[in-house]
Each structure stands twice: as structure tokens, then as C-alpha cells.
Amino acid sequence: MTAAVAVVALAACTFGGGDGGGSAGEESGRRPTASAAPPAATQAPEPAPVPPLPSTPPWRDRPVVDLSFDLSDGLAVVSGRERVVFTPDRRTCQVVFRLWANKPETVQHGNALRVTEARLDGRRVRPSFEARGAPASVQGSLMRLPVPACLRPGRPVRIDVRFALTLGPRTPERLGRSDDLAWMATAFPLLAWERGRGWATNPVVDQQGEMVGSEEFRLRRLAVVVPDRYDVLGTGRPLGRSQGPRPGTAVEAFTARAVRDVAVTAGALDVVEREVDGVDVHVGGPRSGTAMSLQQWADESARAIRELADYLGPFPYPDLWVSVIPDCPSGVEFPGAIQYADVPPGVPVLELLVSHETAHMWFYGVVGNNQGRDPWLDESFASFAQALVDGEQAPAFGVPRVARDQVGRSMAWWSTPRTRAAYGPGVYSQGSQMLLEARAAAGPDRFDSLLREYVADNAHRIATPDDVRRAFATEPGVVEILESYGALR
């Protein structure tokens, strides 16, 4: 995610490099557990390829989304429209959307998301907004729409929303613009429903990292309106380019069977296309050039796709959209799409960065989680998979004392002055170390088999720590290690 454990060496940029306060700066080694010794600083054994397991299909009643972004009037303010057909599996008397673009980190760089109109089944309704951690300068991070007659399970409702997205210059992640380029992800009101649980309303916090939770939805059509001189990288399968609503404009359209989010990059782009074992990889960067060639980015992406698919099963999406953008040296993943910083050639962690972000296509992409509530479920597993396929040495260094055995904490816990700087080593590095230790305790073959079953069983769902506990219940040594690191709270 926003700072792969592969780039811990770049933590001064990725995690702000600030003083964590208190004991965050004090390091301590990992103590042995009763079932296994601490991992040695040796190369992780390479996983053996296995045939894929049949996975759980997407939720039949998942939301259906039509979404459009209009950039034809410039890159600073984007006009958006969204239609969601939502069928709850529990009774509800409201509909809740999250405005994740209004989190503190993106707002301080000039970004903002503002809803201008909302309708339920064609009838205009007045939303209410809550900050839930968002700065006072924006509309809030949570929008509630009242439902006059409560929705019964299985009864669909159509929600239409209009919104305006303001893009600030050179934002460190997810949203931003430069001279002739705009990038936007999680840049629209995102339905906050969790199947079987209801509305997820965890706060946005002041931390550089993901905190989104979203069920998969069917992206029936994503339309991006741009000046016809611009190219577009999107999400899902491309539907082609057509004439825009006004002279001099064009529409790029996409569709996706099951995704949790949408990412778009538009502007004066060069694009490299590559087919990798049935996956269409699209790599784009500004026409003004990138520090490392787009061909090199495509090569690294192809390598990561092949190596991770050998371990975890087939790549979850028919297309992967890679954007190389002006940014702090890091990466951010979305289902079927990745944003990378314009990393200079020769950066020694490049391979690890690409492996980490690509691993998120399985951990958070197909196996979802509430990133604000349980960030380790995608970050620790992605860091572990990255370490395994790259033969990375298990971490031999300690973690800040404040982070020790706190792997399972929420993003709210990791956002305090005392803990903020410890988030990277505490969740990425320590989480990877924890899973490598668990794999050694169970034996690679047994652990890998159970992990693949976990991926297959929890595909297209929002997983929780309880799902991990169930997946490894037949290996009490693994469960004991995860508990000792504080992952299974």
C-alpha cells in the first residue's frame, strides 16, 4: 500500500520520517515464542507452484455501479456522477457513503470531495454529513441518506449522486494533478456496506496509509470524459473510446465484474501494453518522460504477476493498470490498478516495491478487508508474499518498542503522535516476520496449502481476523504465533 515494507529504507519519505514520540524510537528484538524461535536472517524458502483452488464466487447481490468523471473543463475540478443499485442483506433505514478523499492527508494538499445532489429512487433527499476525522474545511468523510421506508433484505434501492472533486497539485498519494496529468482513486462516494455486518463508519485518521473498507461491486460502466488529446488509464476491461459530449472531447469507458474501488489517471500519457499469461498490463506515464522507462516498469510488473500467481493462484483481474506519477517514492494499490511514484533507476528496492503492490491484488483486491479496522490483513500478508517470492531475508532488526506485539491494531491506534512513525515497521515488517515465523512453524507445504485455502474461501469478501484464525485452526502453533504478535485480538 502507501508504503510497502519493501521500501522501509525510504521511510523518511514514506512514513513522514517524523519523531514517533515516547518509546517509539526505542527498539527491541523479537522474543521467542513457545512454538518457534525468532526467524533467522536467511533467505526465505521459495514457494512451489500449485494448481489453483476453486474460489468463492462474487456476491450475487453485490451493488451495481455506474460512474463518470468529467475532466473536459480542466484538471483542477472534476465533475462526477454516480448511480448505485444497492440490495442490502440486512434491514436498514439509511444509506451510508464514505468520502475518503476528505481524509486529513489528502485535504492538506488541496484535495476535496463535495456531494452536490443525492436522490433515492429518483426522489431528491437531503444528505447529512459527519466529519469522522475529516478536517473542518471539507464536507466530511461520511454521508448519510435517510430512507423513508426502511429497506428489507433483498429489496434494491437506486441511489444517484452528483459530486465535485477538487484535485490539489502534487499530492503524495491517490489524488492529485501536475501540469498535464491528473490521477484520482477512491475519488467518489463509496458505499460503506459490509455484508452481514451493516455500515462501516470507522474514522479517517491523520496517517499516510489506506483506511478504506468496501464490498465488491459490479462496475457496469466507468466513463471518463477528457479533451481528445488526453489518454486514460482506468479500472477493469476497456470498452473503447468514443466521441465526447462536446466538440474536442472524448470518452474512455471501462467495465469490471467485481472491484472494490476505482482508479483513473488521465492526461498527456505514453502507454506501454503487455500481455502476461492472459493478463493485459497497461503501463502509463507522462509524455514528458519518467526516470525509469515504462518498459522497465512493465518488465517488473510481468515478473511479479508470474511469481505471485505461481504461489497464490491465478491473477485476480483480466487487466492491470499501472500509473507512474509524480510522487514520493512509494506505491498505492487498488483492485486491478496501481499508482507508482516516478522512482529513479537503480533504486535497490524497486523489485520489492513492485512485488508488494502486486501482491495486494490478492490481499485487499480479491480478499478484502476493512483497512482502517484491520490494516494487517492486507499489509502484513502482502509484505509476506513479497518477501517469499523475492527471496527476501527475514527481518533481523527489532521494531520500535511501542509497536511490539501490536500487529493487529487499527489505523486509529497507529495515528497517534506516539505510534505514527511506528506504523511501517510495526505492521509491514513485523507482520511479515510474524507470518514467516508461522510458516516455519507449520512447515512451508502445510502453511502454503492453508494460505491458499484462505484466499479461495475468502475471495470476494471482507475478511476479518476471525477468518484467519479459522483458516489456520488445524495448526495451533500458527495461531499461537499470530496471537503472540497481537494479530488475533
Helix (H), strand (E) at residue 311: helix 294-312
Domain end call among 315, 337, 359: 359
Domain end call among 309, 326, 359: 359
Same domain for 263 and 134, yes or no, is yes
Find the angle CA(365)-CA(289)-CA(174) to the nearest 5 degrees.
30
Domain count, the chain: 2
pLDDT digits (tens, 9 = 90+) for 179-211: 899 999 999 999 999 999 999 999 999 988 889
Residues in Cβ contact with 148 at an 8 Å cutoff, skipping those fewer than 6 apart: none
Q: Identify whether 470 is part of a domain.
A: yes
Helix (H), strand (E) at residue 88: none
pLDDT above 90: percentage of residues in the chain: 80
**What does the pLDDT read at residue 170?**
76
How many angstroms separate the CA atoms of 400 and 24, rounded?
5
pLDDT digits (tens, 9 = 90+) for 211-221: 999 999 999 99
The mean predicted confidence, pLDDT, of the chain is 89
The secondary structure of 355-388 as a DSSP string is: HHHHHTTTBTTTEEE-TTT-THHHHHHHHHHHHH
Same domain for 222 and 244, yes or no, is yes
Same domain for 42 and 95, yes or no, is no
**What does the pLDDT read at residue 394?**
55
Q: Identify whether 489 is part of a domain.
A: no
**What does the pLDDT read at residue 48?**
63
**What does the pLDDT read at residue 344?**
84
Find the domain containing 52 and state its range: 5-57+367-484
Same domain for 193 and 331, yes or no, is yes
Same domain for 230 and 379, yes or no, is no
> Average pLDDT in the 52-77 region?
91
Q: Identify whether 380 is part of a domain.
A: yes
pLDDT band at 1 (very low <50, low <70, confident <90, very high): low
Q: Identify whether 461 is part of a domain.
A: yes
- pLDDT at residue 326 above 90? no
Same domain for 342 and 399, yes or no, is no
- pLDDT at residue 15 above 60? no
Same domain for 149 and 266, yes or no, is yes
How many angstroms separate the CA atoms of 466 and 99, rounded?
28
pLDDT digits (tens, 9 = 90+) for 93-142: 999 999 999 999 999 999 999 999 999 999 999 999 999 999 999 999 99
Helix (H), strand (E) at residue 476: helix 476-484
Same domain for 167 and 311, yes or no, is yes
* Whether the Cβ atoms of residue 1 and residue 372 lie closer than 8 Å to each other: no
Same domain for 93 and 222, yes or no, is yes
Kindly list the distances between the CA atom of residue 223 and the CA atoms of 67, 241, 244, 294, 394, in Å, as whole numbers in the listed order: 6, 10, 10, 25, 44
CATH number for the domain harbouring residue 431: 1.10.390
pLDDT band at 26 (very low <50, low <70, confident <90, very high): very low
How many angstroms separate the CA atoms of 308 and 473, rounded?
25
CATH number for the domain harbouring residue 192: 2.60.40.1730
Choose among 122, 168, 129: nearest CA to 145: 129
Helix (H, G, I), strand (E, B) or coil at 169: strand
Q: Identify whether 408 is part of a domain.
A: yes
Q: Which residues pair with 83 in a beta bridge?
A: 66, 160
Q: Identify whether 137 is part of a domain.
A: yes
**What does the pLDDT read at residue 12?**
31
Domain end call among 312, 332, 359: 359
Q: Identify whether 219 is part of a domain.
A: yes
249 CA to centre of own chain = 31
Same domain for 183 and 212, yes or no, is yes
**What does the pLDDT read at residue 53?**
66
> Average pLDDT in the 247-259 region?
97
pLDDT digits (tens, 9 = 90+) for 417-459: 999 999 999 999 999 999 999 999 999 999 999 999 999 999 9
Q: Identify whether 462 is part of a domain.
A: yes
Same domain for 221 and 310, yes or no, is yes
169 or 138, which is more confident? 138
Same domain for 144 and 104, yes or no, is yes
* Whether the Cβ atoms of residue 318 and residue 280 lie closer than 8 Å to each other: yes
